[in-house]
Amino acid sequence: MATVMEFTTPTAEFPLGSIFENLPGVTVELERLIPHGTHIIPYFWVRGADTGAIEAEFEPHAGASNIRVVDSFESEYLMRVEWDRAYFGVLSALAKASVVVLSGIGTKDEWRFEVRGESREAIAEFREHCQEHDIPITITAVHALLPVQREGYELTETQREALGLAYEHGYFDSPREASLKEIAAEIGITQQSLSSRLRRGHRRLIGATLISSS
């Protein structure tokens, strides 16, 4: 049965964590990982700094290359970097194990991850890989993933709430009748968290309605 595990790891243990040394107010959200030959290519959203400062933080690192911005949304930037597999860490463990990263958010304090394995064995493989390479992780939750009804478009409750409120308040209208700040205040979360929920909700809706599973 598919299993979800949530865990934390110290900021310094994740390659992208080096950005917090000189930019402590930044938040980094991992979008996806793409294994590619001898490298791993992480795509990640950055909030709280301009792109020039972000690129400058990664350039001195021996394991990173080809850093660039690929998209932007308001004050957030989607970036990619090629990361050498030779540098062990959580990034390498995630790419090696048969798990899918559902979310990964980093701040100057720690990284929080949620990963899904198609079985408990896949989760166990990831844990063993971390132990073998002395990668410290603190597991905060493990639970079986129950089948989701297709009629729900595979949205989480928080994603459904965010998308529904944004629609009701005219956020998707042109011109917009409400801002992220106003909607986030109503839910009681930050603008960054709301932006993340909307983006992930859109992705799931498109995957469930426009993309064929065949």
Instruction: Kindly report the pTM of this predicted structure.
Output: 0.66
Q: How far apart are CA 118 and CA 124, in angstroms?
A: 11
Q: Which residue has the higher pLDDT, 3 or 53?
A: 3
Q: Identify the CA nearest to 37 among candidates 69, 101, 89, 82.
A: 82
Same domain, yes or no: 155 and 135: no
CB 113 within 8 A of CB 7: yes
Same domain, yes or no: 83 and 128: yes
Same domain, yes or no: 92 and 52: yes
Q: Is the pLDDT of residue 201 over 70?
A: yes
DSSP H helices, the chain, are 51-58, 90-96, 120-132, 157-168, 180-187, 191-209
CB 4 within 8 A of CB 115: yes
Q: Is the pLDDT of residue 148 over 70?
A: no
CB 76 within 8 A of CB 195: yes
Domains identified in the chain, total number: 2
Same domain, yes or no: 172 and 122: no
Same domain, yes or no: 154 and 137: no
Residue 13's pLDDT band (boundaries 50, 70, 90)?
Answer: confident
Q: Which domain holds residue 109?
A: 3-144
Task: Report yes or no on 173 lying in a domain.
Answer: yes
CB 33 within 8 A of CB 150: no
Same domain, yes or no: 15 and 39: yes
CATH number at residue 170: 1.10.10
Q: How far apart are CA 78 and CA 70, in angstroms?
A: 6
Average pLDDT over residues 63-69: 79
